């Protein structure tokens, strides 16, 4: 069964701020490529939530690299079948 993704308010703000920041120096094509990479990885994580390694500092946190400079940070909640 696929997991649901629940974006926290902080994660939404962080993503919006990052996209706003990079829009000043990136082309629309580069931004779209990043968005597609994020969506592709979210689809993978919904099916394979443990496919990304744990954080060294916080064992309950996982880190999914998107690009060399972008990482999705999330927790797996098995009781609610969600990633947050």
With H, G, I as helix, E, B as strand and everything else as coil, classify residue 45: helix
* CA angle (4 as vertex; 74, 43 as ends), nearest 5: 75
Domain boundaries, position 34: 4-83
**pTM summary value:** 0.89
CB atoms near residue 14 (< 10 Å): 13
Q: What is the CATH number of the domain that holds 23?
A: 3.30.2310.20
In 3D space, the residue among 57, 44, 54 whose CA is nearest the CA of residue 75 turns out to be: 54
Q: How many domains does the chain have?
A: 1
Residues 24, 73, 71, 66, Cα dihedral to 10°: -110
pLDDT in tens, 7-49: 999 999 999 999 999 999 999 999 999 999 999 999 999 999 9
d(CA 20, CA 59): 31
**pLDDT value at position 76?**
97
pLDDT band at 1 (very low <50, low <70, confident <90, very high): confident
């Amino acid at each position: 069964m696929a997991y649901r993704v629940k974006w926290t308010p902080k994660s939404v703000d962080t993503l919006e701020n990052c996209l706003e920041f990079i829009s000043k120096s990136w082309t629309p094509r580069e931004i779209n490529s990043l968005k597609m990479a994020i969506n592709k990885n979210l689809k993978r994580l919904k099916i394979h939530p443990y496919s990304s390694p744990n954080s060294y500092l916080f064992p309950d946190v996982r880190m999914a690299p998107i690009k060399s400079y972008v990482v999705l940070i999330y927790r797996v909640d098995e009781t609610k079948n969600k990633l947050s």
